[in-house]
Amino acid sequence: MPELQLDGLVGPSHNYAGLSLGNLAATSNAGAVSAPRAAALQGLAKMRLVLGLGVPQGLLLPHDRPNLGLLRAMGFDGNDRAVLTAAHGEDAALVAAAWSASAMWTANAATVSPAADTADGRTHITVANLATMPHRAQEWPATLAQLRLAFADPRHFVVHPPVPASFGDEGAANHMRLAPGHEAPGLEVFVYGENPGGRFPARQHPRASAAVARRHGLRRVLLAPQADCAIEAGAFHNDVVAVANGPVLLAHEQAFADRDGLVARLAAEVPGFCLVEAPAGEVSLEDAVGSYLFNAALLSVEGGMALVLPGEAQANPRVWRWLQRVVQDPANPIHTLHVRDLRESMRNGGGPACLRLRVQLSDAALAAVDRRVLLDEARLDALERLVERWWPERIAPADLGNPDLMDQCRAARRALLDALGIAPRELGEA
Ligand code: SUG
């Protein structure tokens, strides 16, 4: 059974605004000059790698930014240029949120339960409300529209609106599925945060996780709390410290509040369960968060599994040494490490796993996905040329008040929609 990877194409407005408290990379790079063109090309190179590994690869589109609708709802009026200029003069932080390209991290787009796990035998998808961070809470309507376009066939798919915003939901970044293989019924693990009195917010509310599991009609579910120390160390999503694929859980020893209880349940309930764990004495939480080693894309490929890692994981000697041991150990199926430069996304706290939403599908369901979101080599070539032509080379914080940049970003996105043959009205846009 194939597992479609839907990566977010990095949008033309990618910038470093330091909007995410608890995301150490994002807050420490606040105010830096970004390189949207390079960022999108880095993402496309990763998609090309995954496609080359024999894994189906698609994309989700950047959202329309800056989000003038948000600024108008906040009381700014006049024509678009006037709205941007006035808002920037008064509340630059609000304007930065309106420009955010954070929809690129599609692990936060939705939670996906494959047909093998659900009561009605269809793939269920709940779009994430992303309610905890204002710059991310604006994403779900455009994401919902795209998911409804991509997964329109009701014989195979059910796309749900978000759970109520009173309960923060950050989608697949806090969701792991363990099963002997993609096609077998699995145990879905929803990881939530608590962190009472901590410096950093927990973003995934357990009620949101339970609601998603209920809506999807899941038969086998486990709710597991994240370790508060992981959140405090900068693991704002569980996928910063753990990743699962098939029967394999690759995780940091301190990722979960009740590590022993979780491991015991998985060992009892998942046939062939295989734990690949980094001991804190060898790889600290700080190493894990700084290198994003667990934010690897763990993929089923010919002969076993491969990890797609960011360059930062290779640059940390303790992390790299541990990874070498993992691939040499015949007790787990991970046999290859692929390292890619994703520096632009990484500097906002987004590694290889953040950039992709996984959708496990039967061949028939894959054939029912809207072809326009699927990639092949020729389409990747065309997208690279398009990005080189239209995406801004650099964005500095002061540029966010510049209406010309707004025009450029809108033109870039229009060119992308044209190239893919998607009309704005299909996404509910004027
Ligand atoms: O929500 N960064 C994102 C990174 C999301 C990573 N996703 C996963 N771990 N799955 C976030 O914190 C930073 C944007 C800024 O500050 O400009 C940002 O939104």
pLDDT in tens, 370-429: 999 999 999 999 999 999 999 999 999 999 999 999 999 999 999 999 999 999 999 999
* Domain residue ranges of the chain, discontinuous segments joined by +: 3-65+100-427
Residue keyed to tokens 């699962």 = 244
Q: Is the CB of 95 under 6 A from ligand 1?
A: no
Span 287-342, pLDDT tens digits:
999 999 999 999 999 999 999 999 999 999 999 999 999 999 999 999 999 999 99
Tell me which residue has its CA closest to atom 14 in ligand 1: 19
The CATH class for the domain spanning 3-65+100-427 reads alpha beta
Mean pLDDT on 345-372:
98
Interacting residues of 138 by C-beta distance below 8 A, sequence separation 6+:
67, 70, 97, 98, 100
Whether 229 is a known active-site residue: answer no
Q: What is the pLDDT of residue 81?
A: 98
Strand stretches in 183-258, DSSP E: 187-192, 221-225, 242-245, 248-252
| pLDDT bucket at 187, cuts 50 / 70 / 90 | very high
**Percent of the chain surpassing pLDDT 90:** 99
Q: Is the CB of 175 under 6 A from ligand 1?
A: no
Q: What is the pLDDT of residue 245?
A: 98
Span 29-63, pLDDT tens digits:
999 999 999 999 999 999 999 999 999 999 999 99
Mean pLDDT on 191-195:
96
Q: Which amino acid is at 272?
A: G
Tell me which residue has its CA closest to atom 8 in ligand 1: 354
For the purposes of burial, counting CB atoms within 10 Å of the CB of 227, is it exposed (0-12), middle (13-18) or buried (19 or more)?
A: buried
For the purposes of burial, counting CB atoms within 10 Å of the CB of 52, is it exposed (0-12), middle (13-18) or buried (19 or more)?
A: exposed
Q: Is the CB of 24 under 6 A from ligand 1?
A: no
Looking at every residue in the chain, the average pLDDT score rounds to 97
Tell me which residue has its CA closest to atom 6 in ligand 1: 350
Whether 160 is a known active-site residue: answer no
Ligand 1 probe mutation, 348, 355, 395, most atoms within 8 A of CB = 348
Determine the number of helices (DSSP H) and then strands (DSSP E) in the chain. Answer: 17, 15
Span 76-125, pLDDT tens digits:
999 999 999 999 999 999 999 999 999 999 999 999 999 999 999 999 99
Q: What is the pLDDT of residue 1?
A: 79
Integer CA distances (angstroms), 206 to 24, 174, 192, 194, in order? 24, 11, 5, 9
Q: Is the CB of 177 under 6 A from ligand 1?
A: no
Span 248-289, pLDDT tens digits:
999 999 999 999 999 999 999 999 999 999 999 999 999 999
Distance 48 CA to ligand 1 centre (A): 23
Distance 19 CA to ligand 1 centre (A): 8
Instruction: Looking at the CA of residue 23, tell me the nearest atom of ligand 1.
Output: 12
Mean pLDDT on 345-357:
98
| pLDDT bucket at 182, cuts 50 / 70 / 90 | confident
Catalytic residue among 156, 175, 205, 237: 237
